[in-house]
């Protein structure tokens, strides 16, 4: 085999980066399959596709053997990190284990092969999954009804805000602002802007919680509502939530619950009982469905009875006399569709299996262990990485790496060095209110032994910062790619491969 000289080629000749890419391995005429000649004349492409729809040149697809193809994908999979490989304490993302039983059920042909246009009568089983899951999620959040259309949390946010807008407009009330805490996830102000409102920040106080008096000063009859996640992104429970809710409602606003941190309270406390009016859930976080390169999301959006009429149409309904589920399209007040079909159904099936396999008691243990694991890990590493705010945390905590600054070491260096210890890094530099933030969420599915190993890795990295800071700056040394430009891929999108790229690694 002729090796193409590529910069940084390494032993094992993996696919990019380092070894030859699948395009460089391509040889004209090489095939991954072959069929015996059936002795029949096959129609030419000219007969099958009209000229105006045919390419002038064949596509530049790689031509490789089946073995090369299998190795390509297997090696790519090995260059990725996944929850099935090791711990993934990525704060705010709830990267917990995704039980395989849910994968098996979602892959059943009766689910995986469904057509979204199939007649309601032919898919009663699938509708039952959505119906029962919807009722369970409403029960868990304390809401009246929901939609499965949003494909992720951020789309749930936009849907919820459009519902809030429809509610205010129906009352002839044109409001201009939505308040978000300074610790909020970036999707919150982004969704507010997309919904046509102005996002206004309310500061956190010395406890890391919403500053109640600052909030009261911001509230007036121009405020459409407040978006809040509870516990907040600092991993702290907003203890004043009842007073916050009363103040927002008093001003005629609505309370939006960002359910990304639901994992810490699921089965224990309900957003509806705290006073929230609109709630999204990230099934791909709390309800253990794969995400982060592992699959799509699902961000069902649940509302109170008062807001139900504005939900995206169609809404799933149980019709009593017929004893069957049906899609209700007769929704004159609906904000309209926000997804082409009924959302990411396969993700909903996984969440259904997760819920049914745990049951109410199992769900409570999810929240309890998520909180216990986070506090255990926090205690083991807070000598080197103190938390920004004191006290018990919920399912995650935010530490600061600012103590390592005198050694010229930053949070990013700590994150990169943890990779060499065999762990996915925590979230870094978020929330913005914490200097050199390391946001750690171990989740309930990691064992005590893994938490001990993770803590040992954190502490070893802190010790190394004092003795050999250069090692942290070089990290990671165990990965095929070391430190890519964090922003370049997003700012300079390049989605097309051209033959000239083969010299570029
Ligand atoms: C993940 C997250 C979101 C966005 O959810 P997606 O499902 O990624 O769109 C919003 N808020 C918080 C606090 C989050 O952690």
Model pLDDT for residues 267-288, shown as the tens digit of each residue:
999 999 999 999 999 999 999 9
Q: Which of 154, 173, 292 is nearest to 229 (CA)?
A: 154
Ligand 1 pocket test, candidate residues 96, 154, 228, 433, most atoms within 8 A of CB: 154
Dist CA 30 CA 24 (whole Å) = 13
Torsion of CA 358, 80, 459, 373, to 10 degrees: -10
Q: What percent of the chain has pLDDT over 70?
A: 94
Q: Are strands 437-440 and 397-400 parallel, antiparallel or unpaired?
A: antiparallel
256-265, 295-304, 369-378: least confident range: 295-304
How would residue 340 be classed by pLDDT, with cut points 50, 70 and 90?
Answer: confident
Q: Which of 50, 54, 59, 61 is nearest to 26 (CA)?
A: 61
Q: What percent of the chain has pLDDT over 90?
A: 81
How would residue 389 be classed by pLDDT, with cut points 50, 70 and 90?
Answer: very high
Looking at CATH, the fold of the domain delimited by 100-356 is given as 3.40.640
Distance 137 CA to ligand 1 centre (A): 18
Closest atom of ligand 1 relative to the 229 alpha carbon = 13
Residue carrying the six token digits 């199939």: 118
Ligand 1 pocket test, candidate residues 91, 187, 289, most atoms within 8 A of CB: 187
pLDDT at residue 502, as a whole number: 52
Cβ atoms of 195 and 158 within 8 Å: the answer is yes
Instruction: Say whether pLDDT at 76 is over 60.
Output: yes
Distance 125 CA to ligand 1 centre (A): 30
Cβ atoms of 157 and 187 within 8 Å: the answer is yes
How would residue 499 be classed by pLDDT, with cut points 50, 70 and 90?
Answer: low
159 lines ligand 1 (CB under 6 A): no
Dist CA 417 CA 414 (whole Å) = 5
- For residue 229, the SS3 value is coil
Higher pLDDT, 21 or 331: 331
4-13, 126-135, 252-261: least confident range: 4-13
Determine the number of helices (DSSP H) and then strands (DSSP E) in the chain.
16, 12
Distance 260 CA to ligand 1 centre (A): 5
17-21, 57-61, 323-327: least confident range: 17-21
Write the residue with the smallest CA distance to atom 8 of ligand 1: 153
pLDDT at residue 12, as a whole number: 44
How would residue 320 be classed by pLDDT, with cut points 50, 70 and 90?
Answer: confident
39-43, 418-422, 458-462: least confident range: 39-43
229 lines ligand 1 (CB under 6 A): yes
Write the residue with the smallest CA distance to atom 6 of ligand 1: 153
Dist CA 503 CA 24 (whole Å) = 9
283 lines ligand 1 (CB under 6 A): no
Dist CA 448 CA 369 (whole Å) = 11
Mean pLDDT in residue range 374-398: 96
441 lines ligand 1 (CB under 6 A): no
282 lines ligand 1 (CB under 6 A): yes
102 lines ligand 1 (CB under 6 A): no
How would residue 390 be classed by pLDDT, with cut points 50, 70 and 90?
Answer: confident
290 lines ligand 1 (CB under 6 A): no
Distance 463 CA to ligand 1 centre (A): 33
Tens of pLDDT along 155-202? Answer: 999 999 999 999 999 999 999 999 999 999 999 999 999 999 999 999
Closest atom of ligand 1 relative to the 299 alpha carbon = 7
Cβ atoms of 96 and 443 within 8 Å: the answer is yes
- For residue 415, the SS3 value is helix
46-50, 279-283, 395-399: least confident range: 46-50
pLDDT at residue 501, as a whole number: 59
How would residue 11 be classed by pLDDT, with cut points 50, 70 and 90?
Answer: very low
pLDDT at residue 487, as a whole number: 85
The distance in angstroms from the start CA to the end CA of the chain is: 20
Cβ atoms of 347 and 298 within 8 Å: the answer is yes
The stretches of 10-152 forming alpha helices (DSSP H) are 22-25, 45-48, 66-78, 100-106, 109-112, 124-141
Instruction: Return the bridge partners of 226, or none.
Output: 179, 255
154 lines ligand 1 (CB under 6 A): yes
Distance 292 CA to ligand 1 centre (A): 12
Dist CA 163 CA 158 (whole Å) = 9
Mean pLDDT in residue range 74-82: 86
233 lines ligand 1 (CB under 6 A): yes
> Which CATH code fits 366-491?
3.90.1150.10
281-295, 336-350, 371-385, 393-407: least confident range: 281-295
Which 3-state string (H, E, C) describes 46-59? HHHCCHHHCCCCCC
Q: How many CB atoms lie within 10 A of CB 453?
A: 17
Sequence ranges of the domains in the chain: 100-356, 366-491
Higher pLDDT, 61 or 10: 61
Name the average pLDDT for the chain. 92
Instruction: Say whether pLDDT at 5 is over 60.
Output: no
pLDDT at residue 6, as a whole number: 31
Instruction: Say whether pLDDT at 17 is over 70.
Output: no
């Amino acid at each position: 085999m002729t090796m193409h000289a590529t910069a940084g080629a390494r032993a094992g000749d993996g696919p990019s980066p380092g070894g030859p890419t699948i395009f460089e391995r391509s040889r004209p005429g090489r095939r991954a399959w072959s069929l015996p000649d059936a002795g029949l004349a096959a129609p030419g492409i000219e007969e099958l596709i009209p000229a105006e729809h045919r390419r002038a040149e064949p596509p530049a697809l790689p031509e490789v053997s089946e073995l090369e193809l299998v190795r390509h994908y297997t090696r790519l999979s090995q260059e990725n990190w996944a929850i099935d490989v090791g711990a993934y304490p990525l704060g705010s993302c709830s990267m917990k284990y995704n039980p395989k039983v849910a994968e098996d059920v979602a892959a059943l042909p009766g689910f995986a092969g469904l057509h979204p246009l199939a007649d309601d009568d032919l898919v009663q089983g699938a509708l039952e999954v959505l119906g029962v899951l919807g009722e369970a999620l409403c029960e868990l959040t304390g809401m009246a009804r929901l939609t499965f259309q949003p494909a992720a949390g951020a789309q749930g946010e936009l849907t919820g805000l459009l519902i809030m807008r429809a509610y205010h407009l129906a009352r002839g009330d044109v409001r201009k602002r939505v308040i978000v805490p300074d610790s909020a996830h970036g999707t919150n102000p982004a969704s507010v802007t997309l919904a046509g409102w102005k996002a206004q920040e309310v500061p956190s106080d010395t406890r890391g919680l919403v500053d109640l008096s600052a909030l009261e000063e911001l509230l007036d009859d121009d405020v459409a509502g407040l978006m809040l996640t509870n516990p907040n992104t600092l991993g702290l429970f907003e203890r004043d939530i009842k007073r916050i809710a009363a103040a927002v409602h008093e001003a005629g606003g609505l309370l939006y619950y960002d359910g990304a941190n639901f994992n810490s309270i699921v089965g224990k406390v309900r957003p509806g009982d705290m006073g929230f009016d609109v709630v999204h859930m990230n099934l791909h976080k709390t309800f253990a469905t794969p995400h982060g390169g592992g699959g799509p999301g699902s961000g069902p959006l649940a509302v109170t009875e008062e807001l139900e009429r504005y939900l995206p149409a169609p809404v799933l309904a149980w019709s009593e006399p017929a004893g069957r589920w049906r899609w209700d399209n007769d929704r004159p007040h609906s904000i309209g569709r926000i997804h082409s079909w009924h959302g990411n159904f396969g993700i909903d099936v996984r969440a259904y299996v997760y819920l049914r396999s745990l049951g109410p008691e199992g769900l409570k243990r999810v929240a309890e262990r998520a909180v216990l694991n986070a506090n255990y890990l926090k205690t083991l590493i807070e000598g080197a990485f103190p938390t920004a705010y004191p006290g018990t945390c919920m399912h995650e905590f935010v530490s600061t790496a600012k103590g390592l600054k005198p050694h010229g070491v930053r949070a990013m260096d700590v994150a990169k060095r943890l990779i060499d210890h065999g762990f996915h890094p925590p979230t870094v530099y978020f929330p913005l209110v914490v200097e050199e933030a390391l946001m750690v969420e171990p989740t309930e599915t990691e064992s005590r032994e893994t938490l001990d190993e993770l803590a040992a890795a954190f502490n070893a990295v802190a010790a190394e910062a004092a003795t050999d800071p250069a090692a942290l700056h070089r990290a990671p040394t165990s990965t095929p790619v070391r430190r890519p430009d964090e922003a370049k891929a997003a700012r300079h999108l390049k989605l097309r491969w051209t033959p000239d790229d083969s010299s570029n690694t």
